Amino acid sequence: MTGDRPKRGRIAAPAESGAENSEDFALTPPARLSAAIEVLADIAARRRPAADALKDWGLAHRFAGSGDRAAIASLVYDTLRRRASAAWIMADESPRGLVIGMLRLQYGLAAPTIAEMFSGERFAPDPLTADEWTRLTEGTLADAPLHVAGDVPEWVLPSLEAILGAETRDELRALSRRAPLDIRINTLKHSRADALAGLAHLTPEPTPHAPNGLRIPIGEDGRGPALHVEPEFIDGWYEIQDEGSQLASLLSGARPGETVIDLCAGGGGKTLSLAAMMENTGRLVASDDDPRRLAPIHERLRRAGAVAEIRTPRAGRARADVLGDLDGGADRVLVDAPCTGSGTWRRNPDAKWRLRPNALSLRVADQAAVLDRAARLVRPGGRITYITCSLLPEENDAAVAGLLARRPDDFAVIPAADIVAAYAPGIAPSVRFTRHGLQMSPALTGTDGFYVATLARRG
């Protein structure tokens, strides 16, 4: 240790900062800003997911406590939410410029307040320049293009406008805000009414639309309680699940005694919803083309007391079809299709900036393949529920239209209005009905951007 003062704007270890040990050391708000700028610089330089850069920063700065790491993550993600608009008002795409712009746009801070945090003292970022001060006080989004003001990639905007229409600007603003924290009560163990009382220490409120959902308050810093360590979670009372995802499962209409296949089960969130809807009766089969995604499902089923048969494909191109014996026998097939995730950009804001047109093309091909597989599984008179967490019509109505074109004599769309009337009549004013399905969205529904369509196989 040389004893030299660390470079301004960078975070030093506790001994360098004068703290006696890491337990006594906590980063100041300006130091957290410096850390966020460091992480954003790493993301830009290495073109990597934000979660990876944040993890590496934490490993390199082990003295930073969990509160510091969570606060820095909030700053990073909020900056990524407003990356385009912050760069516009600051005329600066550097990590520092983006953070400064975000503090004004996302947090509503005035220039003097921001200047206090950018003091250059100890571990604070360097003081604002004259140009930065001018941009903060005079920069405006009044003349910004819609994709800039709405913080989305320009090439995606036409697709979003096709579904969102005149509400595009409002929806993009909602898509740039933080998402709420929702849980689904596991009705195999408790009713929502009972859970409201049992979880009173979390001060939950019923979700606006989903009948078994609760919304947990989050702090101004975007942090909620550590739900995964709560005793009630360990005992299987609830799963963390966005209200939109809960509604998508509900709209499948799965009933006790049926044979239901969750074709793209992943970690099992919707599988658990289906098991509760089916009251652990009938036959519920969960599978996924990527066996690695299925890894968490076994423990989640055990915790929830849910019954499902897991079909795990072997890795490699020559793997056998683990669902072949079920062809033509399923009452319902739920397809939670691989997609761009554009409807979840509130939660994963860095994903929108990493999305490229070729990735959309790959997802469209994946969706066609999985729909074709579902078509072979469902029995005559059975149904396919097609779900994405996307706002892009190419992945939604166009995918359904593709199956109808490939199998014109075998399948017909059940109008989404009929599905809503049957399973969730209260949400009708809060969704957009499309040609083949329905679209949820942050501004209109208050959920992630889920799409749901239902196809029936002709008898």
Angle subtended by helix axes 66-81 and 50-60, to nearest 10: 150
Report how far Cα 351 is from the mean position of its chain's Cα atoms.
10
SS (H, E, C) 44-94: HHHCCCHHHHHHHHHHHCCCCCHHHHHHHHHHHHHHHHCHHHHHHHHCCCC
Q: Residues annotated in the binding site, as ranges?
A: 288, 336
68 Cβ neighbours under 8 A, 6+ residues apart:
26, 27, 32, 35
Quote the tokens at residue 429.
């004013």
**Spatial distance between the Cα atoms of 248 and 307, rounded to a whole number of angstroms:** 20
Instruction: Give the pair of three-digit tokens for residue 380.
Output: 């005559």
Burial of 109 (0-12, 13-18, 19+ CB in 10 A): middle
Report the C-alpha gap between 386 and 199 in whole angstroms.
33
Q: What is the DSSP letter of 225?
A: -
Altogether, the residues listed in the chain come to a count of 459
Cβ proximity of 311 and 286 under 8 Å = yes
Kindly state the DSSP code that residue 237 receives in the 8-state scheme.
S
* Residue 250 CB contacts under 8 Å (≥ 6 apart), including other chains: 210, 211, 273, 277, 423, 424
Q: Which two tokens stand for residue 396?
A: 């939604």
What span, in angstroms and rounded, lies between the C-alpha atoms of 188 and 313?
A: 28
Question: Mind telling me the catalytic residues?
Answer: 389
Residues comprising the binding site for S-adenosyl-L-methionine? Answer: 288, 336
Q: Angle between the 29-46 and 66-81 helix axes, to the nearest 10 degrees?
A: 60
